[in-house]
Each structure stands twice: as structure tokens, then as C-alpha cells.
Chains A and B, each alone.
Chain A
């Protein structure tokens, strides 16, 4: 059995463990144990992976396990990882681990909450390790559906509306994805032979051009919905605003990455010719998303809305980079996913903790929090600085890689969109500093806030682990970047091979 299968087994065992728990405290600790184990497993995976690569193993994917589970449609449980997936798994385990601590003070129904949360995470893990399109889609759905319950039951504000909206829009995306995947399956053997869902096998083939042109928009839009692509991003502000802390963290931090990863792994990887042909449309949308999200965030007053729009901007950058079709930009895209994942999880964690104390998310009602909760405030400033791309944090590395990569496309169209997208870093600075200025600095506007307390130990674990994540990547990015670059080899070759077919 491959180490990867553990990533699915551990959450499931944890859920079983939770079902046997008697008290809420036990539920929490079982969750912590399970997700801590998962985290350790992820680190072990990264180390093993690096060791394998260093030992000269140049297979496209490592730790493969392949079991047939539905013969009629040739569906396999086929798992394996390359550098990109390993990086995404590391991100997920970190965010989930922090998310458990961030939901320490969830109101009621602990058992159910943690069950769904961990179920969701197992879906995400399964998605990242799958090499079989069908199994991948299965896990994708597994990750999306619990979100409805998590927001609908434990959310705040207009939670039913938000949960419904989020789920419906994501389901709409899923429908497109399913069509696209079936389309790929039916065309997976253009030169005869049995049809297959296997990504690696399909990637060796060239699908018929007219099919590609039909399937690429389906898949890109389908995954783009989850990746908050303009104009399909509106579930994100409402959904995040209503979701409980840990769910926001997981959703923005990890689930939205499923979209980007899917665009990269399925849409672009399997349909490179179509990507070259119609990618420019989505590039325009992504660029709009980048700048639009930033400007949208500028005007918001609710902390979660600000962060949701900022996510739209940052995730737009991911799609933007993927559509640049070169190794550097794609590397940046993956790093941006990881960086944004940790960063935005940190943001949502902090917002949740602040909200738990002040019971408001409107920045105008708060002020001067630095004085009463220095730990949270400093962490917020760090998150903000990371978000606006300060060197030393992961955001800088990712953004710079993206921009340098994007600049390698020398035609005027790509130049213009790159400069537009790059200008978002200024707007980002504006809205981040606006929030920091109003929320944390200045005088305390509400006398009641003088009594508030700073972070508790579990808050601190959550926050510190995430900050360490962004800092380690930000200070020493080379290993990560090289690991991702290794995984990008096949896709870049495919794209290069596809390029001459451009009109």
C-alpha cells in the first residue's frame, strides 16, 4: 500500500474515532490527533519525495498505487504524486491542522462539525493524489458537498442563503466538469484501444481538436468557478462571510485551490492545444478578476468580504499564471496557490478570532485593537504584509515568479495584461493598509473593547503554525520551487509541443 492511501485512511479512521467519543473534549482531541498525524504524514511525504528525487528517481509520478474498482467503465483507484501534488498536500494538511485549532470554540454539535470538516479534508486529499479522472471527480464532490452543511448549520448571518448559493454555483461548476470529464473519457483513446480515465495515459495522447475546443471551456469554467474566476466568483464573498472560521479557512485556503489545480491538471494538461487557442479569453477574465477583486476589496467594510475579494484577486492571479503557459509562470501559479492558501487561512483564522471577541466584523466599529490584543494584531499585520507581497513571506516569492514568468511572453497582449495584473499589488497594499489602519491602529473606538482578551493557547497554535508556513516558504523558497518545477516538466513539454499548432 502506498503512503498516499494513508491520506484517505487517516481521516476516515479519525471520523470513526470521533463517532466513538463521548464528550466534546474527546472529539476535539481525537480530531487534533488525527489531523496531527495527517500533518506528520504530509511532512514525511515531502521528505520521502525529496529523497526519492534526490536519489535520481525521475518517474513522472511517485508512490503509485493502482487498483481497478469498476471494470465496466475502467475506473481505477489510481494514486500518485508529482512535485505539484506534494506541495498541495503539504498545504492542505497544514491548513486543516490549523483549522482544527481555530474551531476550538465552535458552538454546538461538535461531533458532527468535526466529522464533516474531516470528511471534507479527506475529499481534498483524495483530489490531490488521484490520477484517475473519475476518482478525482468523486473526491471533488466529496469535498464540495459537506460545505453546504458546514455553512448551513454552523454559519452566521444569512447562512442558508449563502450555503445554498455557494453549493448551487459549485454544483453548476461540477456539472460542467462532469461533462468535460466524460468527454475526455470518451475521446481518451483516439488511436483505438480501451477508453481510460487515467490522466497519465491520456496526457500521452492528443485528443481530437474539435473535441478539445469544446471540452476546454467546459473544464476551465467548471474548475474556474471553484477557483473564483471572474465573473463566477460571487459565491465567495457571501459564502465566506457566513461560514464558520475553520470552514472559511479550509474553503479559501484549500478548496479554492482545487479549482486552480483542476484547471492546471485537467484542463490545461490534457487539452493543451485548445488551451493555446482559447486561453486568451480566460486570460482576460483572470486579469479582470485580479484587478477587479482588488478594487472590490477596497470598498468593503466587512472583514470577511475584504478577504473574500482579496481572494478573488489572488486566485485570479493563479489562473492568470496558469494561462501564461510557461514553466516559470506555472511554478508561480502553484506557489501562489500554496502561499494564498496559507495566508488566507491565516486571515480567516484571525478574523474569526477577532469576531469571536468583538462580535462584529465591521471595521468601522472597531479600532485600536493593537492595544488590547497585541498577539492577534501583530499576526494580522504579518498576514497583511504577506498578502501584499512583502519579501520574506511566501506571497512575494509567488507573485514575483508569476510576473517574471508572465513577462517571458513577449507579445503586446501578454505584456499589457501582465502590467495590469502587476498593478494590483499597489491596490492590494492600499486595501490591506486601510484595514490595518482602521482595525488595529488608532484609538480604541469602543470602550467595551478595553476588556477583551488576547489569543488563547489554541488560537496561538493555529496562528503560529500558519505564520511559520508562510515564513519558511518566503525565506527559503528554493526547495519548494525546485520541487514544483520538477512536477511541471511534462505539462510544459506538452504545451511547447502544442504551441506550433497555434493559429
Chain B
């Protein structure tokens, strides 16, 4: 077993275990914390795959932004120490069935399929400059249009969030 494999196994173990804990924990703040671990471990996977920039984004936006936002909202809407109501069997059983069934089908499909993996050419680190170029490029493999769309989306989301969060005058 190579170090790589070991690292992957560790990361994926963290991800899976804390994912499960995220969706089952009955203390909501803890759940958010577990989610944080999951996201950090995912960032580790990105490092492993040599997407350093992506990993950085994952850490800054997800971990630094989204999770903090979630935790804030938790603090706004719940009392610390409150235990969440346990879901009833009527919810759990179908959910487990569906999830297991879906996982099985997907896994069978995925494992049966022979992906034409390219030969991996060592450690090619993606250059930030290259990323930036293609992000604003209008050529082939350029992403300026999605980039603009996302910008507008974010702007809209910002406006929307402000409007929604604003207190009503009445």
C-alpha cells in the first residue's frame, strides 16, 4: 500500500464517518462541526489530486464561508444544547431503503463500467495563471460566459439575501 493509498483511505474514512455523523447527530452545532471536518477532508482529497487552487477555494469558501454562515444561522435559530427531535421510523426506514438501493445501483453501475483512464503523467500541478487565463478566455476551453453568469447569479443572490433578511416595515 502506497502512501497515496493510505492518505486516500484516511481522508475517505474521515469523510464517510463524519458525513454519517453529520446526518445523524442530534446536536445541531456538532453536526455543523462534523460537516466542517468532511469539507476539510475533501480539500485534502483535492490536494491529493493536485488541484491546489481548488483545495484552497474549498477551504476558504466552504469552510471559511459557508460553514461559518451555517453556524451563525444555527446560533440565530436554535439554542445551544438543544437536542434535535429524533426522526421517526416512518422516515428512517424509507430513507435508508432508498439510500441503500440507490447506492447499490450506482455502485454496481460504476464498478461495472470500464473507464478509459488516461496514463497519468506524474505530478502536473495546475498553474494558477493558466486557470485565470482560461477563466476569462473566450476561446475554446474558455470559461468567460459561465464566469459572467455566475457573477450575475452571485449578485442576484446577494440582493435576494438582503431583501429576504431585511426586516419588514410593518
Q: Do chains A and B touch in the complex (CB under 8 A)?
A: no
